[in-house]
Amino acid sequence: MALDLSKVKEREALRPQREPHWQRIRPGCFLGYRPSVREGAGTWIGRAYDEDQRAYRLKALGDFGALPGRDRFAAAKKEVEAFVELIESGGHAEEKIETVEEACRRYAEANTEAAGRFIRHVYSDPIAKVKLTRLRRQHLKQWRDRLEAKPALVSRRKKGNQVTRPRAPASINRDMAMLRAALNKILAPGAPDTEAAWQEALRPIRNADRQRTLYLDREQRRELLAAVDADAVPFLQALCLLPLRPGAVANLTVADFDKRTSELSIGKDKSGKPRRILIPAAAVKLFTEQAKGQLPGAALLRQANGKAWNKDAWKKPIAAAVAKAQLPAGTTAYTLRHSTITDLVNGGLPLLTVAQISDTSADMIERHYGHLSRHAAAEALAGLAL
């Protein structure tokens, strides 16, 4: 059955995803709808076929949030038809960037992480409608104040009360960095110490990433593994052996592990781009044991109940093990990732290689780990076994 975006209930039933849900208006003309992940109205996208370029062109149409839900399809359809006519007539499809929202949407086209942050913190905020020609430091200072005051979700469960905590300085910095990058593509920095100096309101909070300095040596990691509940041991072992984010490890399935080539496919991580990495012998042994007798779609690392790990499931056993082993306060699953990356850098593995394995930028690795001393390469990835 063909998708009908004109029906509000049918739109509301669509699941959020990066690729828009498309409806064919006529040959060469498509209207797309991307539901909001958390808050605000969904956004509309136009797609037109360019005969000259033999390729489709896209145009962000906005959310039409000022209109009633029943009228948004008609408004979006009118916009995409005008866009298609422009393309078919040989006109230029370059849209004029006038507002903060438009600048962000342009930047988000090539940045998956930015798209999610803008949906959560920009598009539904008053800053979105501010004209770039009128953007001043006070506008961004007010947006920053609202961002800092917005609580962060600890649990995303749909039933019951939502659990929140104050937003961490590091999270605030990452949100501001995305907006600053989007505006930098369009605006030149304003004169310092004036209202035109919009960039000054987005200066990062200093020492916000202080938690990354917490490092557990190999002996401390062994103590953590000895103290944690038995069903959590394989999950923590994987974090000690590979420089992956806890969420990426939790999302691994049996099909992601290839014993024959000692490779691991990581499909869901912060960048959103899948990648395939070689893993050390100790990790091959661990994953071989965990995959034994399991279906390809099963979680590679499982809780005692057979379910995949998640943040709410791993926090309590780790916290209890940290207290039992008398390890530094503040030790989390993420501490193991930092410790593993530290060992790789200290082991002499090139920073670019570490960045590629751990799914982060070389600049980030250089910023946080570039000061570490370099030892023999033999102490690198293959030497991470506990």
Selected residue with higher pLDDT from 369 and 303: 303
**Can you give the pLDDT at residue 18?**
76
pLDDT digits (tens, 9 = 90+) for 174-196: 899 899 999 988 888 888 888 98
In this predicted structure, what is the pLDDT of residue 383? 47
Q: Which of 105-119, 127-141, 209-223 has the highest mean pLDDT?
A: 127-141
The least confident of 39-53, 191-205, 311-325 is 39-53
Please give the average per-residue pLDDT across 258-274, as a whole number: 82
Rounded mean pLDDT, 190-207? 87
Q: What is the mean pLDDT of residues 338-347?
A: 85
* pLDDT score, position 386: 57
Task: Note the pLDDT of residue 381.
Answer: 46
pLDDT in the model for residue 377: 34
CATH of domain 8-88: 3.30.160
Question: Looking at residues 125-143, what average pLDDT do you find?
Answer: 94
Is the pLDDT score of 211 beyond 70?
Answer: no
- What phi and psi, each to the nearest 5 degrees, are found at residue 15? -85, 145
* Pairwise CA distance, residues 35 & 209, whole Å: 32
Q: pLDDT band for position 304 (50/70/90)?
A: very high
For residue 127, pLDDT beyond 70 = yes
pLDDT at 94: 52
The architecture that CATH gives domain 213-383 is: Orthogonal Bundle (1.10)
pTM of the full structure: 0.51
Q: Looking at residues 66-92, what average pLDDT do you find? A: 86
Share of the chain above pLDDT 90, in %: 45
Domain ranges of the chain: 8-88, 100-153+165-208, 213-383
pLDDT confidence tier of residue 54, bands split at 50, 70 and 90: confident
Confidence of residue 268 (pLDDT cuts 50, 70, 90): low
Q: According to the model, what pLDDT value does residue 228 have?
A: 95
Q: How confident is the model at residue 88 (pLDDT cuts 50, 70, 90)?
A: confident
Q: What is the pLDDT of residues 110-122, one digit of tens each?
A: 777 788 899 999 9
Give the pLDDT of residue 158.
56
The stretch 266-286 carries a mean pLDDT of 83
Average pLDDT over every residue of 4-15: 89
Q: How confident is the model at residue 346 (pLDDT cuts 50, 70, 90)?
A: confident
Mean per-residue pLDDT for 160-184? 84
The average confidence (pLDDT) of the chain is 84
Average pLDDT over residues 281-291: 94
